Amino acid sequence: MTTAFSHRLEQPPALEPGTLRITPLGGLGDVGRNMSVLEFEGRLLIIDCGVLFPEDSQPGVDLILPDFDMLHERLDDVAAIILTHGHEDHIGAVPYLLRRKPDIPLVGSQLTLAFIEAKLREHRIRPYTYAVAEGQSESFGPFECEFVAVNHSIPDALAVHVATPAGTVLHTGDFKMDQLPLDGRITDLRAFARLGEAGVDLFMTDSTNAEVPGFTVAEKEIGPTLDAIFARARQKIVVASFSSHVHRVQQVLDAAAAHGRKVAFVGRSMVRNMGIAAEMGYLHVPEDTVVDVKRIDDLPEEQVVLMCTGSQGEPMAALGRIANRDHRVSVGPGDVVILASSLIPGNENAVFRVVNGLMALGAEVVHKGTAKVHTSGHASAGELLYCYNIVRPRNVMPIHGEVRHLIANGEIAEATGVPRDRVVLAKDGHVVDLRDGIATVVGEIPNGYVYVDGSSVGEISEADLKDRRILGDEGFISLFAVVNSETGALIAGPEIHARGVAEDDAVFAAIRPELVAALEQAVADQSDRRDTYQLQQVMRRVVGRYVGKRLRRRPMIIPIVVEA
């Protein structure tokens, strides 16, 4: 396999005529932030534009976006943004890109566009959208695109085949090969085979479940488990899932109707998305089953089902607030909470923190590790083998996964006969050129995380996050001194105050004489006795050494020297 994960590459050369360039800006190395840019004859085609959710090591961050810098001066060259499906890790960053140019065409299925249009209304953006369906072909600039039905954990997902004079690309989006899907819409392997017969130069395939042997469990197998839980539950049931997981919500609605329960949607995105899905006919709501959450207080607990967000442990989502007793909904002994989703890598600690909180309140928590309440929306290794044998691509570029997933997917491709040097293992920011039927990594562009923190976008740096981690883990010490503006002599202080440090401020009394002596010596050694910056650094070094040796901590130290 051709890989350059571990070292920095040079800037890519200018794009040669007759070459198709592919630059992934997200999704290669993370489960999320999916985005790829195709370039041919000066025009750009974007496939997906999603977000990544932060981990515990990124405190205060709300979302992580792809790095749009390569597009900054080329937005007029973008022919379209193709959205393969309506999950946040594929559409969530669209509002932040359209802030820069709102009239870039958005292309996707009806449900996908409905989800993104609702999101864009919250950002006060009126997009230009173009709905497509499986089997449809459209041209966007020099890119001839054919859309193929694929099965996923959300209805209306699409793969896209992109044809240019330089070569063809088949991009699967997220997919699996469930042969008995709830909506009857299977992955169109006949179209895959037809495109393969015509020749696929580059196959960009979903890698999320490449390490999982065999085949992904069918969605229909979840229904009996949910039914059994509903049958034995004697009080309130709370089900947490992604706000766009229409199939899972459908199964919850069916189970509730079968057991005489009412369902209330909790969480703004859940209410919004399920309203859209029901209105468009993707969600079939049994008569007299859904009620407003305000009505649940009037219902017996044995008739209540709450369908909410927060399955990934997000602290501000409904389930996290319920666990923290910060929500109008409460749980206690006898209640059942079902986590009907998988764990996104990096979210494990947050999820189990919520699980522990719910169990501490007395609720029974059922999750994927204890019962079959969720199945993945991604193809496992056996399904990927089938796809490679059907498509028979000339080159393969695994996408959508961590490094281990990409490597596992590449090994599957090799096992089916794809030459080792035709399996391209790239990471975000790598530039891949397709020319004369051969895909090659030709360079790398700067590509980092762009953090959304409240109303700020891209203003938080890695250094800021490091400071936040230090504050959270090690604490904060402030030092304050006043010196004579003429002589530099110490007039007041130094005062030492600590926050987030277990020891009382009195522990610093031992270091104060040494700190005074160091300041006086520094003043005596200075030619310019008004150099307060140097005095601040002296204070930082002395206290830093003391705290490191005596308390074995490395807190953030802020020294302040004022002239008087």
CATH 2.60.120.10 matches 219-366 = no
Element (H, E) at 175: none
Cα separation values, 264 from 306, 308, 526, Å: 5, 8, 71
User: CB of 317 within 8 A of CB of 310?
Assistant: yes
Tokens representing 283 are 């969600």
Residue 159 CA to residue 227 CA, distance in Å, equals 33
Q: Please choose, from the candidates 418, 288, 389, the residue with its C-alpha nearest in 3D space to the C-alpha of residue 2.
A: 418
Residue 202 CA to residue 394 CA, distance in Å, equals 6
Ordered by start, the domain boundaries in the chain are: 19-214+376-448, 219-366, 462-563
For the beta sheet containing 202-206, the strands, ordered from the edge strand earlier in sequence to the opposite edge, are: 137-140, 143-149, 158-164, 167-171, 202-206, 395-399
User: CB of 330 within 8 A of CB of 318?
Assistant: no
CATH 3.10.20.580 matches 462-563 = yes
Please give the pLDDT value at position 2: 60
* 553 CB-near residues (< 8 Å, 6+ apart): 474, 475, 501, 547
Residue 466 CA to residue 454 CA, distance in Å, equals 18
Please give the pLDDT value at position 486: 67
DSSP 8-class letter at 169: E
Q: Please count the helices (runs of H) and the strands (runs of E) in the chain.
A: 14, 27
For the beta sheet containing 490-499, the strands, ordered from the edge strand earlier in sequence to the opposite edge, are: 490-499, 476-483, 556-563
Please give the pLDDT value at position 61: 65
Q: Does residue 142 have a cis bond before it (omega within 30 degrees)? A: no
Which top CATH class is 19-214+376-448? alpha beta
* 251 CB-near residues (< 8 Å, 6+ apart): 182, 219, 222, 223, 226
pLDDT tens for the chain, 564 residues: list them: 666 666 678 899 999 999 999 999 999 988 888 999 999 999 999 999 998 877 656 556 667 889 898 998 899 999 999 999 999 899 999 999 999 999 999 999 999 999 999 989 988 999 999 999 999 999 999 999 999 999 998 999 999 999 999 999 999 999 999 998 888 899 999 999 999 999 999 999 999 999 999 999 888 888 899 999 999 989 889 888 888 888 889 999 999 999 999 999 988 888 899 999 999 999 999 988 888 888 888 888 888 898 887 766 566 677 778 877 777 788 888 888 888 877 666 666 677 788 888 888 888 888 877 888 888 889 999 999 999 999 999 999 999 999 999 999 999 999 999 999 999 999 999 999 999 999 999 999 988 887 776 555 655 555 555 544 554 556 667 777 777 666 666 767 777 777 666 555 666 777 777 777 777 677 766 655 556 777 777 777 777 777 777 666 677 777 777 776
**Length reported for the chain:** 564
Question: How far is C-alpha 112 from the chain's CA centre?
Answer: 18
Residue 178 CA to residue 183 CA, distance in Å, equals 11
Element (H, E) at 520: helix 512-525
DSSP 8-class letter at 72: T
Tokens representing 119 are 């999101």
